[in-house]
């Protein structure tokens, strides 16, 4: 089975899973919540050599074990990959050395791993969500890799994986996708904050007028920066502090470990008739049993 066939199979399976699990296909996909809705027993614990494990019903499942040491983006992808094994009725699988960044397109991938990997892309990045995000970010016309990075932040996915999925959706030509996939996400993050030094492993979430009534899923150390003239935060909850390294002209905040749950923020700007209102939600890798995982 080649990757094109794997993606055709996975795309259909992901759309069916969205329907059956009640997933809104126009926005960020809550994959950990989806595991619960699929009646999978979920657990996350540190695992030095594994991304995740799927136990099929034949092996006293269905159940999923995730590596709690993964960052949230990688853990979300792994969770979707394991859900793919379940939705596609695969055998039990332990996923240890299947990093898409290292082995994408490698013919040594087993067929079930190919379709589960493709399922993760289609489940986390359905066409309606990608199109809605691009419409907010760049009026539907991605002309720079920064646009794709911002889309990845909206969807909670990796930059490289988002580039590839946009190619799958025929929203990027193959040559441009190959060029953009080679660009370091660190360089794109730096570009979005005007070259300022960022906290280690921080993501950058851009807030604009199009962010009104949207959700931002951010982690500790992440920066939220406003791209509107003469903007200012109307109020900040505990755990979101002004990020002075962004420069005098930028209005930015960084999420600290004191931020819990979610909060509604408002941003004013000289070009806006009313404040931009958005909901910021803390997202972090899940640990323990799924009964205590936040949605």
Q: Helix, strand or coil for residue 160?
A: helix
Specify the pLDDT at position 31.
96
Task: Please identify which residue in the block is written with the tokens 């979300």.
Answer: 76
Query: Given a cut of 60, is residue 248 above it in pLDDT?
Result: no
Confirm if 163 and 125 have CB atoms less than 8 A apart. Answer: no
In whole angstroms, give the CA distance from residue 67 to residue 47: 5
How confident is the model over 209-230, as a mean pLDDT?
Answer: 92
Higher pLDDT among residues 209 and 162, named by residue? 162
Query: Given a cut of 60, is residue 151 above it in pLDDT?
Result: yes
The whole-chain average pLDDT of the chain stands at 91
In whole angstroms, give the CA distance from residue 253 to residue 225: 7
Specify the pLDDT at position 97.
60
Specify the pLDDT at position 271.
77
Domains and CATH numbers, the chain: 3-124 (1.10.10.2910), 196-295 (2.60.40)
Task: Please identify which residue in the block is written with the tokens 């619960």.
Answer: 36
């Amino acid at each position: 089975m080649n990757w094109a066939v794997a993606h055709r199979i996975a795309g259909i399976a992901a759309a069916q899973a969205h329907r059956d699990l009640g997933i809104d296909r126009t926005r960020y996909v809550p994959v950990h919540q989806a595991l619960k809705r699929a009646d999978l027993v979920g657990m996350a614990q540190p695992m030095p050599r594994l991304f995740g494990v799927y136990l099929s019903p034949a092996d006293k499942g269905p159940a999923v074990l995730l590596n709690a040491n993964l960052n949230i983006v990688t853990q979300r992808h792994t969770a979707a990959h394991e859900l793919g094994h379940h939705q596609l009725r695969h055998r039990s699988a332990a996923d240890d050395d299947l990093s898409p960044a290292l082995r994408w397109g490698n013919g040594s991938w087993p067929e079930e791993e190919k379709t589960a990997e493709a399922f993760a892309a289609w489940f986390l990045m359905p066409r309606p969500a990608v199109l809605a995000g691009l419409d907010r970010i760049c009026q539907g016309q991605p002309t720079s890799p920064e646009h794709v990075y911002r889309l990845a932040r909206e969807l909670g996915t990796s930059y490289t994986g988002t580039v590839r999925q946009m190619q799958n959706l025929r929203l990027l030509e193959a040559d441009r996708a190959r060029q953009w996939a080679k660009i370091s996400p660190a360089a794109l993050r730096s570009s979005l904050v005007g070259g300022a030094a960022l906290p280690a492993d921080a993501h950058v979430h851009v807030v604009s007028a199009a962010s009104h009534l949207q959700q931002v899923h951010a982690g500790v150390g992440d920066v939220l920066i406003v791209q509107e003239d003469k903007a200012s935060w109307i109020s900040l909850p505990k755990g979101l502090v002004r990020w002075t390294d962004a420069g005098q002209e930028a209005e930015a905040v960084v999420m600290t470990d004191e931020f819990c749950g979610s909060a509604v923020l408002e941003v004013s700007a000289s070009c806006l008739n009313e404040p931009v209102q958005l909901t910021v939600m803390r997202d972090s890798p899940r640990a323990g049993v799924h009964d205590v995982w936040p949605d």
